[in-house]
Amino acid sequence: MGWLKMHLNWAMVLGWILAIGIGIAIVYIVWFCWYFAAAKRLMNTPSQDLTVSVAIVIFLIIVIILSLGVSIWACIQKGRKREWALLWLVPFGFIVLLVLKNKRVISNIESPKLTD
């Protein structure tokens, strides 16, 4: 059994952090492409307010989609319904996801057997 399945709560937290990092990276890529394309066409910089607003919207969409994906995966691995992952959208609902008990039985196949 893999480390991620054995440590579902840590896997969720790492997945959420990774989602934020991916969101930031994509926003920077889109922002730089848009900024330099507009500057090249107009020979002046685009409106800062519009650029920041679009970047924030793109960031939020990416982070919400990726974080919900990680939460749904963890709920499936814990033997819970996928609807539990929607708690991530509620303020402090992610804490409930971390506290949810695993309903699946985990057997440790790799442990040495005791002999008489």
Where are the chain's structural domains? 3-99
Output the CA–CA distances (angstroms, integers) from residue 59 to 14, 20, 29, in the order listed. Answer: 18, 8, 11
Q: Are 46 and 35 in contact (CB under 8 A)?
A: yes
Reported as half-sphere exposure (CB side, CA atoms, 13 A), residue 14 has a value of 9
- The overall pTM is greater than 0.75: no
Question: Tens place of pLDDT for every residue, the chain, 116 residues?
Answer: 587 778 888 888 899 899 889 988 888 887 777 777 776 666 555 566 677 777 788 888 988 899 899 989 988 888 888 888 888 888 888 888 888 888 876 555 555 555 54
Give 45's contacts (C-beta < 8 A, 6+ positions apart): 35, 38, 39
